[in-house]
Structure 1
């Protein structure tokens, strides 16, 4: 059976739209039949009363507003049954325009994947796209049309809790991941029953909040905006992202929600973006709190004029836009443009043909939590683990070990493995580290557990039990870090050390004299200097999702050789923040840790981080040799091919993330000391060699000049091949000439 509103019945006979696509004709025909109030209703989004990502807003008028055509979308409603029931109410409205259902599907729906920052540590674009693909299949099967992901904000301050939701500090890597995640969510295109609308957020520069404090002010040059923060959003546009979400912050004094430069000039103008923009939760009304609008009426006027198409839960558009149109403060053409953008997506999803096409309980039962989906989550979790340190080759562990001590407040935690921005289920089926180890070892290996301490308290009363258990073991595995509610939205921290007395616990256990492996579980880069300096084996395992414990066990025992690389710099102290690898040089750059006299340096600590961007070890070793360039000089439209030999010189098969960096030595705008320009993930067997090639073209040499024009300049360049940003193995110079 097909569900047709009377608007659709009359959609096709209209003429005079030859320049439009078939969908555009249908959109215009619906728009012609709508009252102003119904148009404004399409720009209004309410939340459901469960799974809220913001304050739950219960209201007895929600269903009435839907019947009256005063709602275009709802968020936080999920499940085939629930979405069908609410959609049936929308079909009682005069125009029978279907609702869009949105949900924060950030790193998995029924099956939870690693947090996005962890996935970024994989540097595996195929796996990241597949993670979003699995999430989209499950989400769509549960009647949801739209996810508020990916977050593509570049973030260089780990005090900001939302670093866990993005891809880290680097613009190039972040752009590649943004593209991959949009493609994963949207699959072969909107309208397919396994695709959901992606939403690139937060437009723009939200990740640069002053002092790393969520929702705080952002102040930056246009050059920094274009050079660092906008490219991932452009990548999302190029990938076909259906929607954008604007940001909570002010940018240079203008709230992003009312920033016409961002939304009208850049996004919808220069980039010709055809999708629609939704506000972040309540951000239109929050312009009053910013001191930018005197009331919600003025906030609505500013937001719609700036290009904010849909009002998420601020209740500003619905009561005010009609009055603003009647007062000739807002042209109805702006309302029409916003409505067209929203209706177009509803047509692309096929909701006008069948409003219930995603609300299929049989398909939901078939798609959710399958063995295939869990295997994908396991594989992604393995790829996300970063081996920070492995002195004395403690790892991988022998499967012949008789007694293993598993110590730490996160050793048996299941819920924390899910991480922030995850969806709760009655039976989550989350695998803790302890359970993963139990699944891995045979009956001949005894696992002994001690909690040692709580995450954030000051009590050391559990140390004695931990030491007793440690003394009885052949090897000690320690699980420390953050709980899932310590990183995420509104989870900024001034101090990002491992909380409580956990590092003191590590010291106490280390003194036992047995081999120690520390697993740090967190949503951000933490500071743990004593552990980093003294513990021989450290893995950063983030929050890895449903299969966390199994993934960690597979890596610990060598069934998966870790290949992750850090997507963010790890500071040695909060006083270094913000710290990132691709900084500009200075006129007085310190040459080493002791070179502090009238230099850009600290008196009390080195400039360098504890762990650099791109760092990550393997159980095997790799040798780089024989760098060759096809040319030493190129003209503007020519390319350079570079090649070198990568060899696995160790005992294990493994993957190496080969990183290509470039330095523009002299330019009309000072350039970073190095910039990531490409990377490849190469699998090699022990003793195997492979020729790795990259191509340097005009695009890789371009930058924004003083007038913000994108282009190249003749000059000297340095190419660097490395295993991390601070571990360059090969380098050569070349020239770009006129």
Structure 2
């Protein structure tokens, strides 16, 4: 439909029809088995159900075709309904959780995964995914860190951009792609205390310098939609925040698409104390530029009256409605309201999608410890023990459209690799402690103690039989994600007990940690011979993990987040600001910035990760010692594989502005490159440094670079390498 036809359609619509295009209602209004991802308000009125412009939480080609057919027939102007869904890291083929994808340091791989997710979801009738989550997160207590790609603004920017490109493709009318939604705008990941939905208090400098970066870069890829965040930012809820939504998002970032609230966030302006009632909440959200009210009822109940009384102008209403109609048109829904649906059977997991998911898992695994080359597993008897050894719950709480039956467990994959008489399996313990709280409620098991006594006895017997024990431990999938903030980052006590009892057998221990967040692993490290982070790996989790454990693939993942010694260090991130009293590397440290009972830095810092081989970095070089704003400068280094197996290495470039009008971080990631090296092979890696890479939000409150000295590191982690120096003239 051309622009003129869309405007004619808009002109012919009643105020009620226009308002309802800005209303999103739960999929449970159309389908009983809908996924509910927020607080339900009760049933909506029949006219709302017939006119609401979009819905969420339902999928299935046959059901959505039937719902769309009924909706279009009943709508006065036969405008199609838009179906939205949280396709966060997979639909039918579930890829590693976003935090795990961040560990791959491979945006192109993430783009390919997003393309698979879009194709499968579109074939199931879905039009829009609420992804990518572009929130910078530096606090492991926050459950939704699992949905982020980590603590670094540069890495997050590349990953979020890749996801938008993968979901949307080159043309939104392509029925194998989805509209992307960049979320949660803004600074949702900076919630105070790491507690979900909590207030965020940030200076404009910190907001612009760190937290807005990934949103801005992803928006350059032209996503169809942006979602507001639940939190307040400096005392003003994001969903009613005109500075964020109109000045930064619309004016500065140039976003022209649809702005949607998160579930119930418009109505929650009342709880925040920012709106008196639903009418006031609807007014404030409209003033901020929120086009779609997700499931709060404020627009459906109050917006028509606000327009009729002139509180909200018809011009403002029409602008919002036209953006929604444009989005439907960009998706090709007016021509084909059933876009993407090929058959009532829906999408099928292909061998190609499984291959891509399997490779993504292997690329995401981060080897933290490998004493005496415990990994890869050699010949001998191996026991796979732990609650994650043979569970199909390897996806996150945000992969609800994936099916457990499609998941390959670690044990299933192990049976494909090893002879039957060389491996055994035992659960060892329950996943959680008795009465543990999760995002899905309290887990209580009758006869919990008796069950765990039995499981532990079986596990010890199984361990004594083996030469090596692979312990598969971690948090339950419902202990990370939305509404899953935690004040403790330790493994469940029942799992730690299992680890200690297995240690008593004297066998070599390989500990695999399945998690959606950084955990306290100091004690686990001391009890393990090898330690590897497996995240929440998804459908091909078992295969991908065993590809690395068996040595078929050497681990290459790098931590996208810092793992603390203790939760008391949170929020924790590598790109800290220097202090006037830095703790010395050695010697007396009285009256310096330090903890009395813990190291300042991470147990395992950002960018860290081991391989089965070893790499030697040559002397880094700069092409010049000075540059101007018109020049570029090249930093280069040679890396050689000094081990006896092939491997991938991620060469990382960090930069520090030594002295500026604002204090600058001790170092910031400015580039990375992953290369493959065979034993004995050597390659040179170079990075071009441009003036725009040196810009920051200055004391004059503008983006600019400043003349002076800069340090640059070419290394394999945020605490590694030797600094070189150059000057910007």
TM-score, normalized by length of structure 2?
Answer: 0.95
**Where does 1:501-650 land on structure 2 (aligned, <5 Å)?**
501-592=494-585, 595-650=588-643
CA distance in 2 between counterparts of 1:218 and 1:166 reads 17
The match for 1:683 is: 676
Q: Paired residue for 2:474, among 473, 481, 489?
A: 481
Is 2:413 aligned against 1:436? yes
Offset of residue 87 of structure 1: 1.1
* Secondary structure of 1:581's aligned partner: coil
Of 67, 75, 78, 2:59 maps to 78
1:427, distance to aligned residue in structure 2 (A): 5.8
Measure how far apart 1:66 and its partner are. Answer: 4.2
* 2:251 pairs with 1:273: no
Q: Residues of 2 paired with 1:449 and 1:65: CA distance?
A: 53
Equivalent-residue separation in structure 1 for 2:650 and 2:339 (angstroms): 42
Q: Which position in structure 1 is the counterpart of 2:37?
A: 53
Q: C-alpha separation between the residues in 1 aligned to 2:456 and 2:586?
A: 37
Choose from 97, 115, 120 the match for 1:138: 120
Contact (CA 8 Å) 2:361, 2:541: kept in 1 or not?
A: yes
Cα distance in 2 for residues equivalent to 1:26 and 1:117 = 43
Structure 1 segment 50-199 matched on structure 2, within 5 A: 50-56=34-40, 59=43, 61-62=45-46, 64-67=47-50, 70-91=51-72, 92-199=74-181
CA contact (8 A) 1:143 1:360 kept: no
Matched residue, 1:337: 319
d(CA) in 1 for partners of 2:5, 2:352: 39
Does the alignment pair 1:371 with 2:351? yes
Find the residue that maps to 1:198 and give its secondary structure. strand
Distance 1:413 1:292, change over 3 A: same
1:732 aligns with 2:724: yes
Deviations 1:551-601 (A, max 9, x none): 111110111111000000001111111110000000011113764311111
Bigger shift: residues 45-54 or 457-466: 457-466
Structure 2 distance, partners of 1:550, 1:348, is: 39
* Cα shift at 1:34: 1.1
The match for 2:661 is 668
SS in 2 for 1:679: strand
Q: Give, in angstroms, the shift of residue 404 of structure 1.
A: 1.2
Pairing partner for 2:395 from 418, 423, 433: 418
Contact 2:429 2:494 in 1 (8 A): no
From 385, 403, 407, the counterpart of 2:385 = 407
Q: Distance in 2 between matches of 1:506 and 1:446?
A: 19
| CA deviation map 1:432-491 (0-9, x unaligned) | 111121122134523242424542249562433322211110110001111111111000
Contact conserved, 1:258 with 1:305, CA < 8 A, in 2?
yes
Mapped partners of 2:425, 2:385: distance in 1? 8
Q: Counterpart of 1:15? A: none
Rounded to whole Å, the distance in 2 between the matches of 1:281 and 1:453 is: 33
Per-residue deviation, 1:131: 0.8
Q: In the aligned structure 2, how far is the partner of 1:200 from the partner of 1:477?
A: 39
Q: Tell me, yes or no, if structure 1 residue 314 matches structure 2 residue 292.
A: no
Q: What is residue 697 of structure 1 aligned with on the other side?
A: 690
Aligned counterpart in structure 2 of residue 456 of structure 1, from 416, 433, 436: 433
Cα distance in 2 for partners of 1:531, 1:318 equals 53
Maintained 8 Å contact 2:430/2:494: yes
SS at the partner of 1:488? coil
CA positional deviation for 1:626 = 2.8
8 Å CA contact 2:490, 2:521 repeated in 1: yes
Matched, 1:651 2:677: no
SS at match of 2:499: helix
Instruction: State whether structure 2 residue 370 is matched by structure 1 residue 387.
Output: no
Distance in 2 between the 1:700 and 1:505 partners?
A: 49
Answer yes or no: is the 8 Å Cα contact 2:184–2:226 preserved in 1.
Answer: yes
Deviations 1:244-292 (A, max 9, x none): 0000000011010000111111111122211010000000000100011
2:93–2:402 CA contact under 8 A, matched in 1: no
Deviation at 1:510, TM superposition (A): 1.6
- TM-score, with length taken from structure 1: 0.94
Structure 1: unaligned runs, 5 residues or longer: 1-7, 9-22
Structure 1 CA distance for aligned equivalents of residues 523 and 365 of structure 2: 21
- Structure 1 pair 467–593 and aligned structure 2 pair: CA distance change class (3 A): farther
State the secondary structure of the residue aligned to 2:244. helix
Deviation at 1:359, TM superposition (A): 3.2
Give the aligned partner of residue 711 of structure 1: 704
Find the counterpart in structure 2 of residue 11 from structure 1: none
What is the CA–CA distance in structure 2 between the aligned matches of 1:211 and 1:523, rounded to whole Å?
18
The Cα of 1:54 is off from its aligned counterpart by 1.9
Residue in structure 2 matched with residue 30 of structure 1 by the alignment: 9
Is the CA contact (8 Å cut-off) linking 1:453 and 1:463 kept in structure 2? no
Shift of 1:407: 1.2
Structure 1's 361 and 57: CA in aligned 2 closer, same or farther, altered over 3 A?
farther
SS at match of 1:591: coil
User: Would the aligned equivalents of 1:41 and 1:318 in 2 still touch at CA under 8 Å?
Assistant: yes
Partners of 1:311 and 1:184 in 2: CA distance: 26
Give per-residue Cα distances to partners, 1:125-147, cap 9 Å, x unaligned.
Answer: 11111111100000111110000
Whether the 8 Å contact between 2:38 and 2:264 is mirrored in structure 1 is no
Larger displacement relative to structure 2 (405-414 or 563-572): 405-414
Structure 1 residues 593 and 509, CA gap change in structure 2 (3 angstroms) = farther
Superposition deviation, residue 424 in structure 1: 4.1
Alpha-carbon contact 2:90-2:402 (below 8 Å) kept: no
Question: How big is each residue's C-alpha offset from its partner over 1:612-640, in whole Å with a ceiling of 9 and x where there is no partner?
Answer: 00011100111110322111011121110
1:207 to 156, 172, 189: 189
CA RMSD of aligned residues (A): 1.5
Structure 2: distance between partners of 1:339 and 1:595: 65
Flag the 1:244–1:595 CA change in 2: closer, same or farther, 3 A. farther
**How far did 1:358 drift?**
2.8
Give 3-state SS (helix, strand or coil) of 2:111's partner.
helix
Q: Does the residue aligned with 1:626 lie in a helix, a strand or coil?
A: coil
Shift of 1:75: 0.6
Query: Deviation at 1:76?
Result: 1.3
Partners of 1:36 and 1:707 lie apart in 2 by: 46
Distance 1:208 1:621 in 2: 37
Partner SS state of residue 324, structure 2: helix
**Are the aligned partners of 1:397 and 1:558 in contact in 2 as well (CA < 8 Å)?**
yes
Q: Distance in 2 between matches of 1:208 and 1:426?
A: 32
How many Å separate the matches in 2 of 1:602 and 1:515?
34
Gap change, CA 1:75 and 1:291, over 3 Å in 2: same
Distance 1:420 1:657 in 2: 30
CA contact (8 A) 1:563 1:616 kept: yes
